[in-house]
Amino acid sequence: MAYFLFVLFLTIINLTKGEPIVPALFIFGDSIVDVGNNNNLFTAVKSNFFPYGRDFLNHSPTGRFSNGKLVVDLASELIGFASYQPAYLNLNFEENNILNGVNFASAASGYLDSTATLTHVVSLSQQLEYFKDCQNKLVKIVGQANATSILSGAAYFLVAGSVDFVLNYYMNPVQEKIYTPYQFSNILLECYTNFIRNLYESGARKVGVASLPPIGCLPIIISFFGFQNTCVENINKVAIDFNGKLDITSKKLQNMLPGLKLVIFDTFQPLYELITRPTDYGFFEARKACCGTGVLEVAIICNPMSVGTCVNASRYVFWDSFHPTEATNKVLMDRLTPIVMSLLLP
């Protein structure tokens, strides 16, 4: 891997002459990639307070659901951006701060708009509308031709689906009575298909989509649905099934939409290996998260009053009961680097 990364680094420098690999990066999805869009919303799903962000730049809680950098921060660094893409809802549009892209992700959002409605956050549909608004602002800043060039050359990342299953299915008795988890998957994939089509019509051509992680291994899922403090494998099987359908659906979309490069970022396998064999990767704890007791705390329940929060988060796979630590994000980014680069490079 080290040799591959060295060769990759030389390739990037040669192709880009020190400039970012793509002109801009636009991010959509949920809390795994939210960098602060929920900060000023009327919702309990926030993280702009300690101990969130305690290991981030300037030890600052920004609204990121981790102790430090997110995978999308690491990806932005890999691509070559000097600063991270800002949260759309925190932007000052009087400045030219959208030229390198924008982050529209909202914690607790999902493929279904009803998922976002449950906690009063920004739905994926609304995130797309915000993106269209940014397009118009970009045209005013650089002109139509340059804006079109930026948008067609940009990278687009989408991370969603986990909250749909965790909050809007497994913790929602109404949905469970109406659908099997596999039927629910099909509904999510219809939403995914519509989103990609709309994103494509808005000019996107390089799109990376994260698969579902092993949601059956999340501390909060084990706490509610587990029996022996191990991953809930029947829920993981649903995630695996969804990921297989996601791959098939994505291939169909790529064949149907000329010029679209649609890549799936497999997060399930590397995270499952890390969670089930943490010591192989230098980690100590994978069942309990760092924050508080590590079994339930997330968002406002993970706060300065949380008793028992760990001192060294780098030994923990999870920061809170739903989200990974920066150390985990770094391991995941190392595994995803080849596929990310396959999306971005010519």
pLDDT tens across the length of the chain (346 residues): 543 444 454 445 444 457 999 999 999 999 999 999 999 999 999 999 999 999 999 999 999 999 999 999 999 999 999 999 999 999 876 667 899 999 999 999 999 999 999 999 999 999 999 999 999 999 999 999 999 999 999 999 999 999 999 999 999 999 989 999 999 999 999 999 999 999 999 999 999 999 999 999 999 999 999 988 999 999 999 999 999 999 999 999 999 999 999 999 999 999 999 999 999 999 999 999 999 999 999 999 999 999 999 999 999 999 999 999 999 999 999 999 999 999 999 8
In a domain, 295, yes or no: no
Whether 40 is in a domain gets the answer: yes
- Do residues 171 and 163 make contact, with C-beta atoms less than 8 angstroms apart? no
Q: Is 223 a catalytic residue?
A: no
pTM of the model: 0.95
Q: Give me the DSSP letters along 182-225.
A: HHHHHHHHHHHHHHHHHHHHTT--EEEEEPP--GGGSHHHHHHH
CA angle centred on 134, ends 13 and 25, rounded to 5°: 25
Residue 222 near residue 170 (C-beta atoms within 8 A): no
Query: Which is nearest to 345 in space by CA: 78, 70, 71?
Result: 78
> 56: left (phi > 0), else alpha (psi -120 to 50), else beta?
beta
Per-residue buried b or exposed e for 309-332, using 16+ beta carbons within 10 Å of the residue's own CB: bbeebbebbbbbbbbbbbbbbebb
d(CA 259, CA 122): 29
Sheet holding 25-29, edge to edge: 101-103, 25-29, 155-159, 206-210, 261-265
Note whether residue 258 is domain-resident. yes
Q: What is residue 62's predicted lDDT score, i.e. its pLDDT? A: 98
* 3-state secondary structure at position 80: coil
Assigned domain for 316 exists? no
Q: Which of 47, 55, 320, 321 is the catalytic position?
A: 320
Closest CA to 36 of 74, 55, 64, 58: 64
Tell whether 303 is covered by a domain: no
Task: Give me the torsion for CA of 223, 228, 229, 232, rounded to 10°.
Answer: -70
Q: Looking at the 3D structure of the chain, how many domains does it have?
A: 1
Number of H helices, E strands in the chain: 12, 5
- Smallest Cα–Cα separation from 166: which of 124, 207, 115, 102? 115
State yes or no: is 31 an active-site residue: yes
Tell me the residue type at 187. I
Distance CA 318, CA 288 (A): 7
Establish if 318 belongs to a structural domain: no
> Domain of 204?
22-282+327-344
What's the CATH code of the domain at 332?
3.40.50.1110
Catalytic residue among 30, 31, 73, 76: 31
- Annotated active-site residue 123? The verdict is no
Q: pLDDT at position 227, please?
A: 86
Determine, yes or no, domain membership for 337.
yes
Rg (CA), the chain: 19
Q: Is 282 left (phi over 0), alpha (psi -120 to 50) or beta?
A: left
Least Cα distance to 117 among 187, 45, 173 occurs for 45
Separation of first and last alpha carbons in the chain? 21
The reported pLDDT for the residue numbered 3 is 39
Q: What is the pLDDT of residue 13?
A: 45
| Of the candidates 125, 90, 128, 121, the residue with the CA atom closest to the CA atom of residue 106 | 121
Per the domain annotation, does 297 fall within a domain? no
Cβ burial, residue 229 (10 Å; 0-12/13-18/19+) = exposed
Residue 307: what are its φ and ψ, rounded to 5°? -85, 130
Alpha carbon of 293 to those of 46, 186, 309: distances in Å? 19, 35, 7
Residue 14: what pLDDT? Answer: 42
